[in-house]
Amino acid sequence: MLRKRIIPCLDVRGGRVTKGVKFKNNIDLGDPVEMAVRYSGGGADELVFYDITASAERRPIDIGMVAAVAEAVRIPFAVGGGISCVADMERVILAGAEKISVNSLAVRNPGIIAEGAKAFGRQCIVLGMDPVRSARAPSGYEITTRGFREFTGMDAVEWAKRAADLGAGEIVVNSVDADGTRAGFELEITGLVARAVGVPVVASGGAGRPEDFTEVFRKASADAAIVAGMIHSGEWTIAQIKERMKLDGVPVRMSW
């Protein structure tokens, strides 16, 4: 069985890592490069960086930050926010990132997924999706964009399937309802997407205890899980999360 991955997420705004609850009331947490180094040395399997206001502000991603992180760490990392075209993807890859995450852009222009996969390989293209519970959607979950600012009317599961067909090599399911709550991952939508697509699915939003990771891997069939607030606060470490997973029989990389 493939080992499950733990991926710290660094939401970056104005060159600083920030964290909120359900995309609101964000607080400053520190320097993204310093935090990347700490988590890389602390057992992270990968990292992900989201320039969380780039899309809403309609500006490019901070390439300088991408290059600084690439210089400082030796584990794969993905970058999202402020990507508007294949040329932007190329700049991110050349700056040192292994993966590019597209979210709002892909909703506006689904063809960008296929273009990116053709140019760099589907393993480099990640679909980020921000679903919220909605009675309007057949699956019960609707896609939102621009940092939960816009409701699209798109069904989350159907969008995931379409994105995988277009060439997305991985899908991150970031539950808006669970984001920052530390009440546990949103198992329902994560499981729905994992069962619907043939590419790795990453659970995101809501982690609060090491047991939450075992639960999302076992009950929702996630391939990886994103962690943020519970380690940013210092309450838990990646090593503690992985120790819990190991005790629970979840395959995980323990040596670092």
Q: Give me the residue spans of the domains in the chain.
A: 5-247
Q: What is the rounded distance in angstroms from the CA atom of residue 64 to the CA atom of residue 255?
A: 31
Sequence-distant (6+) residues with CB within 8 A of 237 are 42, 43, 231
- pLDDT computed for residue 233 by the predictor: 87
Q: What is the rounded distance in angstroms from the CA atom of residue 242 to the CA atom of residue 43?
A: 9
pTM strictly above 0.85: yes
Instruction: Specify the higher pLDDT residue, 201 or 54.
Output: 201
Strands 150-155 and 77-80: unpaired
- pLDDT computed for residue 27 by the predictor: 61
Instruction: Specify the higher pLDDT residue, 24 or 252.
Output: 252
The residues carrying an active-site annotation are: 11, 130
- pLDDT computed for residue 55 by the predictor: 62
Q: What is the rounded distance in angstroms from the CA atom of residue 100 to the CA atom of residue 125?
A: 5
- pLDDT computed for residue 43 by the predictor: 96
Which of 154-178 are b and which e, b meaning 16 or more Cβ less than 10 Å from the residue's Cβ? bbbbebbbbbbebbbbbbbbbbbbb
Q: What is the rounded distance in angstroms from the CA atom of residue 151 to the CA atom of residue 239?
A: 37
Q: Which two tokens stand for residue 46?
A: 């990968």
Q: What is the rounded distance in angstroms from the CA atom of residue 160 to the CA atom of residue 171?
A: 7
- pLDDT computed for residue 177 by the predictor: 87
Q: Which two tokens stand for residue 204?
A: 């995101």
**pLDDT at position 25 over 60:** no
- pLDDT computed for residue 56 by the predictor: 64
- pLDDT computed for residue 197 by the predictor: 98
Rg value, the chain, Cα: 17
**pLDDT at position 255 over 70:** no
Q: What is the pLDDT of residues 171-223, one digit of tens each?
A: 999 998 888 889 999 999 999 999 999 999 999 999 999 999 999 999 999 99
Q: What is the rounded distance in angstroms from the CA atom of residue 177 to the CA atom of residue 186?
A: 8
- pLDDT computed for residue 30 by the predictor: 79
- pLDDT computed for residue 201 by the predictor: 98
- pLDDT computed for residue 195 by the predictor: 98
By the 10 Å C-beta count (0-12 exposed, 13-18 middle, 19+ buried), 64 is classed as exposed
SS3 label, residue 62:
coil
Sequence-distant (6+) residues with CB within 8 A of 40 are 47, 72, 73, 74, 75
% residues pLDDT > 90 (the chain): 75
Mean pLDDT value across residues 20-34: 66
pLDDT band at 26 (very low <50, low <70, confident <90, very high): low
Pick the most confident of 26-30, 93-97, 142-146, 174-178.
Answer: 93-97
The CA-CA-CA angle for residues 205, 209, 213, to 5°, reads 65
Q: What is the rounded distance in angstroms from the CA atom of residue 100 to the CA atom of residue 213?
A: 24
Choice among 5-14, 131-140, 192-201 with the minimum mean pLDDT: 5-14
Instruction: Specify the higher pLDDT residue, 85 or 12.
Output: 85
**pLDDT at position 52 over 80:** no
- pLDDT computed for residue 205 by the predictor: 93
- Which CATH code of 3.40.50.300, 3.30.540.10, 3.30.465.10, 3.20.20.70 fits the domain covering 5-247? 3.20.20.70
Which residue in this structure is represented by tokens 């700056």? 95
Sequence-distant (6+) residues with CB within 8 A of 28 are 16, 17, 18
Q: Please give the mean pLDDT across all residues of the chain.
A: 91
